Each structure stands twice: as C-alpha cells, then as structure tokens.
Amino acid sequence: MKIAIYGQYYQNNTEEIVSKVITILKKNDFEVFIEKTFAENLSTISTKEYKTFSCHEELDESTAFLISIGGDGTILRAVTYIRNKNIPIVGINSGRLGFLATVQIENIELFINKMIQGNYTISQRTLLSLSSKPINHDLDDLNFALNEVSVSRKDTTSMITIETYLDNEYLTSYWADGLIISTPTGSTGYSLSCGGPILTPEVKSLVINPIAPHNLNARPLVIPDNTEIKLKVSGRENEYLVSLDSRITSVNNETVLYVKKSDFSIQLVEFPEEGFLKTIRKKLLWGEDRRN
C-alpha cells in the first residue's frame, strides 16, 4: 500500500517528524513516496532510497493517504497534488496549532497507528471552482480552492468596486479593499480575520465577506453552496488581484469571474481526540475566561 508524504521545510523539527513517520510506515510495510522538492531539502532522507513525486499526475487513486507535514498552508498546497483523486489527507502540525493540521508532534505515533488501523473518520470538504470571461489562462489549471477565492486591489491604495450577482440576480456593489468568498473550511481563515462567521465543516453554505468595506452596513453574508456567484470588478487601476488559497494572479478589469462549488471534494482524516470543536476551543481559547 502506498502512502505519500508532502511538506514545507520551515521548522527545525521537520527532519525529526519525517524520520518518525517513515519509521512507523516502514515497520508496517507501506511503500513511501515523498514529494521531490521536500525530499531534497531533508538532509537525512536519500532520494535514492525512496520514490518521489513532483506533480499531481504522479499520484493516483492507489495511494492510500497523503501525510502533510507543516501547517494549514501546507495542506492547502497538498490539495493541488490530490485534486479529484479522493486521497485522504492526514495533517501533522510542525508549528503552531492549526485548524486543518491537527495532529500534534507528541501524538504522531498514536495517530499514525490509528490511521493504519482504520480508527478515524473522513471529513468531506467543499471546494470552490473559478472560471472567467474572457478566459484567463492563469486560472485554467489550478482553478479550485479549499479555503477561499478572493479579489483585492492591486498597485493602488484606492478601493475597488465589486459588483456581485447571485445566480444572475444582482446582490450589491461592494466598495472595499476586496471580497472573500469562503468555504466552511475557509471560514476559520482569511474570512475569520475579516470578521466573518465560523461555519462547521459539514454546513452546505458559503460566506461572502467584504474586506474593509467603505459601506459600514456591508456585512458578511451566508448563502447556499449551490449558488453561482458572478463578480465584476472596477477601479482606478487596470488590473486587480485574484487569489485561490495561496495562489495569486492579476486579472484585467473587464474580466468577469464566476465562482461556484467544485464538482469534487477533499477528504481530510479526522481523529475523535482532535476533532473540529476541540480544535476551535483550543485555537480561539474558548472557555479560558474563568467567568465562563
């Protein structure tokens, strides 16, 4: 059985984590694949000893799991390798507590063994897909996002106007620094920092959230996830920025964007001891106030 490993080399303990994970997997006779760039940055790993992958075509449905080592951003990048292959992702957190990478360093052996034994649940996570008219070829291939699609101003301090339609019905024109369209997974990310609501992962909704709106009555809006959102952006500059999770491109003002729920989802492995509710309690310090 094959297991893929992907990571970002940011923390001093990354080598130790990878070695521990590989030792457990080899002990259980798993075939280990490591993302090539990650493997080359690990001094204790020989790329001659392990098979590597460098693009999504080199992973297939026969891969039992992808283990992501890093933080939430690492999982977002791992999604670009998984795409629609239905490979479950296990997130090992090598830094600060994350909402997605919830397996802590001290529990690696416990949870990897639970994964091997099948003592876990799968959380199906909605993605957003993005298309444009006229077609922008920068958005052709990686046109999906697990957290959010956002538009924002470029090369100016002036606000932009985002004309917004829901299923072709005019909603409003946001005059703001930008606009975030978030999945339930992304509701604990950029949208949350802009005052958006937290959605539990299984909710079939999306959040439309303006970034620093000039209209103070412009509030975050929760909509059904089967809604198609159309955006027309205008401003003082000829271009604006579009981001899909951590990927950013420039788009001309006359470009119209269409955002909707993707036709595939991402599978995140969850363990009862590190579930969503426990994670947000720890991350947001809920209950720390003794008056509660």
Catalytic residues: 72
**Which of 125, 70, 127 has its CA nearest to residue 102?**
70
Binding-site annotation, residues: 72-73, 77, 147-148, 177, 188-193, 212
Binding-site annotation, residues for NAD(+): 72-73, 77, 147-148, 177, 188-193, 212
Q: Do 19 and 44 touch, CB atoms closer than 8 A? A: yes
Exposed / middle / buried, residue 227 (Cβ in 10 Å: 0-12, 13-18, 19+): middle
User: Which residue carries 């416990």 as its tokens?
Assistant: 110
Exposed / middle / buried, residue 105 (Cβ in 10 Å: 0-12, 13-18, 19+): middle
Report the DSSP beta bridge partners of residue 165: 170, 230
Q: Do 121 and 134 touch, CB atoms closer than 8 A? A: no
Sheet with 121-125, edge to edge strand ranges: 51-53, 31-35, 2-7, 63-70, 89-93, 266-270, 121-125
The whole-angstrom separation of Cα 77 and Cα 84 is: 14
